Amino acid sequence: MTPREERFDLVVVGAGPAGLSAATEAARLGLSTVVLDEQPSPGGQVWRAVERAAADAPLAAALGAEGRAGAARVAAFRGSGAAYRPETQVWQVERDGRVMASCAGIASVLRGERVLLAVGALERPVPIPGWTLPGVMTVGAAQILLKTSGALPDPGVWVAGQGPLVWLYCAQVLALGGRVAGVLDTAPPGAWRAAARHPAAVATAWRSVAEGLAWRRAVARAGIPVHRGVEAVEALGEGGRIARLRWRGADGARREAPARGLLLHEGVVPNVHAALSLGCAHAWDDAQACFRPVLDPFGRSSEPRILIAGDAGGILGARAAGLRGHIAALGAAADLGRLTPAGAAARAAPLRRLLRREVALRRLLDTLFPPRPALAAPADEVVVCRCEGVTAGALREAVQLGALGPSQAKAFTRAGMGPCQGRTCLLPLVGTIAAARGVPPAEIGPPRVRPPLRPVTVGELATLAEAGGPRLA
């Protein structure tokens, strides 16, 4: 029995700032709209469980204005009339607008005249020695634990990395009465001076800059040790989990400390998995050292039915994501004849003005926290593909054997062929091959992403079989 295909004007994948904003606006413009999301409640990662947090006074206080903005956005979405499917995993999107998803083990097919991928960002993978050890996680992961479960790090948990989230997380932990053992700040020491060369950006983004400084001050006031200019962080294991940390300080000296846990963060990169599987054109972004889809000003991709909004279209942050979601909804409405092109442009103009401020902030952040080349092409012994345990050295051997790019390197090593389907290793895989061949990552290009986007059971797939399907041997 083939399940009925449900039709919508707009299928939105992801209920973060971009998806919520797009769906709310699309519904207001009269588009039949549905939002599919993996989480049990709206908000995405940045506003994870934000409705529940709003009811928890200390947590709400720690999440601050950003949390309040999220709660308001979620409330607007709840009242918008857009359909909402939580705890739903999208495992395939096709160019014709079909979206395959599963909820509680039941697969279904939806079809959108337009599909908006608002699937957000991923934390940049941090391939360092020992990053696969239990006890090594991302800062974003720890923050999700804080938002959803009020979990605080035990004594002996360190934070290593760079970017606003490092300091925001530490400040939130402190505000809730917890602490971290120390911060290994990997931002290049000269970056603030470089940022001073962008006074306009600093001026535009002053509020964010002040916020960031306040988080740092909170960490300093709490007496948490902060090591600046850190490089070559390693996690050392014992008894099957992390036991010690090693790093090189700004003075070049090697240091070690016992550790019960290590939280890593080196910024975020667009989640391009679904867009790559659709064959949407992508470009290499040098400033952010990642691939991002090529989009028009309304978020339209190279595939006519597919739009992309928010950080999935290039990192600009949560506030920008809301604006970009709104703009993409205008683009979809124009495509479907609900707005004239001129009408859509007129509505988009004020949003684009607001967006420019966020772009300025991002330029500043890119200068302050530049992607570190050591993470793009790690040392031979470092695991690049966690799922299959493939090291950078094994990838370099594949290049020696003649692999010019990710397709052949994957075939030779199995890198990217495990359950995460190459999401986590995409950038270090491409970076390692590029460095081994001495060519820029843009020339290597992203790997071809194959469906399903999420593992799906044979049983779920079987329920979608139709009479007259292709012949099997």
In angstroms, the CA 434 to CA 145 distance is: 35
Q: What is the DSSP letter of 286?
A: T
Cα first-last separation, the chain: 22
Q: What is the DSSP letter of 221?
A: H
- Residue 243 within binding range of another protein, rule CB under 8 A: no
In angstroms, the CA 159 to CA 60 distance is: 23
- Residue 176 within binding range of another protein, rule CB under 8 A: yes
Least Cβ distance, residue 274 to another protein (angstroms): 12
- Residue 7 within binding range of another protein, rule CB under 8 A: no
Tell me the window of 280-288, 358-366, 372-380, 407-415 that interacts with another protein (CB under 8 A).
407-415
- Residue 45 within binding range of another protein, rule CB under 8 A: yes
- Residue 442 within binding range of another protein, rule CB under 8 A: no
Least Cβ distance, residue 289 to another protein (angstroms): 18
Residues 255-294 that bind another protein (CB under 8 A): 260-261, 271
Report the phi/psi class of residue 390: left, alpha or beta, with left for phi > 0 and alpha for psi in -120 to 50.
beta
- Residue 375 within binding range of another protein, rule CB under 8 A: no
Q: Quick one: how far is CA 154 from the chain centroid?
A: 26
Q: Are strands 254-258 and 241-248 parallel, antiparallel or unpaired?
A: antiparallel
From residue 381, alpha-carbon distances to 239, 305, 391 in Å are: 20, 43, 6
- Residue 405 within binding range of another protein, rule CB under 8 A: yes
In angstroms, the CA 264 to CA 285 distance is: 22
* Residues facing 98 on adjacent strands: 111
Q: Where are the beta strands (DSSP E) in 280-378?
A: 282-285, 290-293, 306-308
In angstroms, the CA 327 to CA 348 distance is: 6
Residues 317-336 that bind another protein (CB under 8 A): none
Nearer to another protein, 32 or 89 (CB): 89
Nearer to another protein, 153 or 331 (CB): 153
Query: Other CB atoms closer than 10 Å to residue 113's CB: what's the count?
Result: 16
- Residue 1 within binding range of another protein, rule CB under 8 A: no
Applying CB under 8 A, the site for another protein has a residue count of 87
Nearer to another protein, 253 or 472 (CB): 472
Among 222, 283, 349, 411, the residue binding another protein under the rule CB under 8 A is 411
- Residue 49 within binding range of another protein, rule CB under 8 A: yes
- Residue 457 within binding range of another protein, rule CB under 8 A: yes
Nearer to another protein, 91 or 369 (CB): 91
- Residue 193 within binding range of another protein, rule CB under 8 A: no
What is the maximum span of the chain, computed from C-alpha positions, in angstroms?
Answer: 70
Q: What are the residues whose beta carbons fall under 8 Å from the beta carbon of 105, sequence distance 6 or more?
A: 457, 460
- Residue 6 within binding range of another protein, rule CB under 8 A: no
- Residue 304 within binding range of another protein, rule CB under 8 A: no
Among 154, 238, 286, 380, the residue binding another protein under the rule CB under 8 A is 154
Closest CA to 138 of 165, 164, 104: 165
Backbone angles phi, psi at 259, to 5 degrees: -145, 135
Least Cβ distance, residue 141 to another protein (angstroms): 4
Among 206, 407, 439, 440, the residue binding another protein under the rule CB under 8 A is 407
Tell me the window of 32-40, 187-195, 244-252, 296-304 that interacts with another protein (CB under 8 A).
32-40
Closest CA to 410 of 446, 445, 447: 447
Least Cβ distance, residue 184 to another protein (angstroms): 17
Tell me the window of 140-148, 212-220, 283-291, 332-340 that interacts with another protein (CB under 8 A).
140-148
Query: Other CB atoms closer than 10 Å to residue 31's CB: what's the count?
Result: 22
Query: Other CB atoms closer than 10 Å to residue 20's CB: what's the count?
Result: 33
**Are 441 and 430 in contact, with CB atoms under 8 Å apart?**
yes
- Residue 151 within binding range of another protein, rule CB under 8 A: yes
Among 132, 231, 248, 343, the residue binding another protein under the rule CB under 8 A is 132
Which tokens belong to 158?
A: 């360190």
- Residue 177 within binding range of another protein, rule CB under 8 A: yes
Least Cβ distance, residue 167 to another protein (angstroms): 19
In angstroms, the CA 114 to CA 251 distance is: 54
In angstroms, the CA 433 to CA 397 distance is: 10
- Residue 140 within binding range of another protein, rule CB under 8 A: yes
Nearer to another protein, 257 or 345 (CB): 257
**Are 392 and 374 in contact, with CB atoms under 8 Å apart?**
no
- Residue 393 within binding range of another protein, rule CB under 8 A: no
Residues 412-441 that bind another protein (CB under 8 A): 412, 414, 417-421, 423-424
Residues 352-371 that bind another protein (CB under 8 A): none
Least Cβ distance, residue 201 to another protein (angstroms): 29
**Are 348 and 327 in contact, with CB atoms under 8 Å apart?**
yes
- Residue 137 within binding range of another protein, rule CB under 8 A: yes
Residues 71-130 that bind another protein (CB under 8 A): 87, 89, 92, 94, 98, 100, 109, 122-123
- Residue 311 within binding range of another protein, rule CB under 8 A: no
